[in-house]
């Protein structure tokens, strides 16, 4: 399962930082960054294709 997640994302409104720890998610507006990024830490193997599909599905739902 997922141990920790963090990322920085550019949206139409602003840049947002995301942290996920112990089942809790937190979003905060953040300063400009050079690019969006995502880091996921898991306690087992993760199929990158499954993650890619899930992210693309989430983005398409808006």
Note the pLDDT tens digit of each residue in 4-57. 999 999 988 999 999 999 989 999 999 998 999 999 999 999 899 988 898 888
SS3 category, 36: coil
Q: Which residues partner with 13 through β-bridges? A: none
Nearest-10 Cα torsion for 3, 39, 27, 19:
30
Tokens of 8: 């920085």
Q: Residue 62: its pLDDT value, please? A: 62
pLDDT of residue 3: 93
């Amino acid at each position: 399962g997922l141990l920790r997640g963090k990322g920085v994302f550019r949206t139409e409104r602003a840049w947002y930082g995301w942290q996920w720890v112990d089942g809790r998610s937190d979003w905060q507006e953040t300063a400009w960054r050079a690019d969006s990024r995502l880091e996921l830490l898991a306690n087992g193997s993760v199929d990158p294709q499954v993650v890619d599909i899930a992210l693309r599905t989430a983005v398409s739902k808006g």
